[in-house]
Amino acid sequence: MSTPPSQSGKSILASDLKITGDIVSKGSIEVMGEVDGSISADSLVVSHEGTIKGTIGAKTVDLRGKLTGKIDSATLTLRSAAQVTADITYTTLSIESGAQIEGSFKLKKG
């Protein structure tokens, strides 16, 4: 039995938006504003003006903005503008020159 194709879309949180609370999506999320809480999604992009204070759980994370908290991701990309203070759990990690990172890294096993 095959599963039907996903009907999930992309949610964009604009730069003038501030959210306090948890965000859950089966699709992708792009954060240009500010989030204080946890984010769970299939894919997450944090733009250069985006700020997150909390916990991120996503298959793929592309981070250009600021994050303070925790990251759990299969594929994590920290871009050159990223400013991260976090405990990070990952399977695949890519860090561009210029990214500012403080915290711990743990490779997922299995």
- Long-range contact set of residues 78-83: C-beta below 8 Å, sequence gap at least 24: 81/48, 82/46
Q: What's the confidence (pLDDT) of residue 9?
A: 87
pLDDT per position in the chain (110 positions), as tens?
A: 444 445 578 999 999 999 999 999 999 999 999 999 999 999 999 999 999 999 999 999 999 999 999 999 999 999 999 999 999 999 999 999 999 999 999 999 86
Between CA 41 and CA 23 the distance in angstroms is 8
Q: DSSP string covering 14-80, please?
A: -TT-EEES-EE-SSEEEE-SEEES-EEEEEEEE-TT-EEEEEEEEEEEEE-SEEEEEEEEEEEEE-T
- Long-range contact set of residues 73-76: C-beta below 8 Å, sequence gap at least 24: 73/44, 74/108
Q: What's the confidence (pLDDT) of residue 109?
A: 82
pTM of the complete model: 0.89
